């Protein structure tokens, strides 16, 4: 397991959830929800978070269908990750499967008593936490960086 903090991003249409982990990769915690409608502003804020947290990599959740295919949402996230990678190079950006993370996050928040309306502001952060936990577990199990790397195309 590589030592170092990571940031995870759950990209949504309206909001982008961000989570971080400790340098030992043991515990993922929510960071904030970045407004997602203004993409350039979102990228600026994410670059600020990269400067603040100094992660060894960024993990971006890639939405896939239950059968593993990729639709329009995955295309959008790949484009978002590519632009982010350009803005923070040479820091690596990795895409990891995020199937069911938002559903899992919603269920967890509901179970803890968070109301649906209030939960919207934190659900993306909770999904980012789940994405990061899954990526950390994958790396611990395999000894390899999780998911697939995003190449920076200039």
Which CATH number goes with the domain that contains 88?
A: 3.30.420.140
Report the alpha-carbon distance of residue 91 to residue 57 in Å, rounded.
Answer: 6
Q: What pLDDT, on the 0 to 100 scale, is given for residue 151?
A: 85
Average pLDDT value over all residues in the chain: 88
Which of the residue ranges 15-29, 45-59, 66-80 would you say has the lowest mean pLDDT? Answer: 66-80
Report the alpha-carbon distance of residue 108 to residue 86 in Å, rounded.
Answer: 34
In a domain, 154, yes or no: no
Domain range enclosing 36: 6-149
In a domain, 96, yes or no: yes
pLDDT in tens, 106-152: 556 566 666 655 566 688 888 899 999 999 999 999 999 999 999 88
């Amino acid at each position: 397991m590589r030592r170092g903090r990571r940031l995870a991003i759950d990209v949504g249409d309206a909001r982008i959830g961000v989570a971080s982990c400790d340098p030992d990769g043991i515990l993922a915690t929510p960071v904030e929800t970045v407004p997602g409608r203004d993409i350039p502003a979102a990228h600026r804020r994410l670059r600020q978070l990269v400067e603040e947290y100094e992660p060894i990599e960024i993990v971006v959740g890639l939405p896939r269908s239950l059968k593993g295919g990729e639709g329009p949402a995955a295309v959008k996230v790949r484009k978002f990750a590519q632009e982010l990678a350009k803005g923070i190079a040479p820091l690596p950006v990795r895409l990891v499967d995020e199937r069911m993370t938002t559903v899992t996050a919603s269920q967890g928040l509901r179970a803890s008593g968070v109301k649906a309306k209030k939960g919207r502001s934190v659900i993306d952060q909770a999904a980012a936490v789940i994405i990061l936990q899954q990526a950390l577990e994958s790396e611990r199990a395999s000894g390899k960086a999780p998911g697939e790397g995003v190449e920076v195309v200039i």
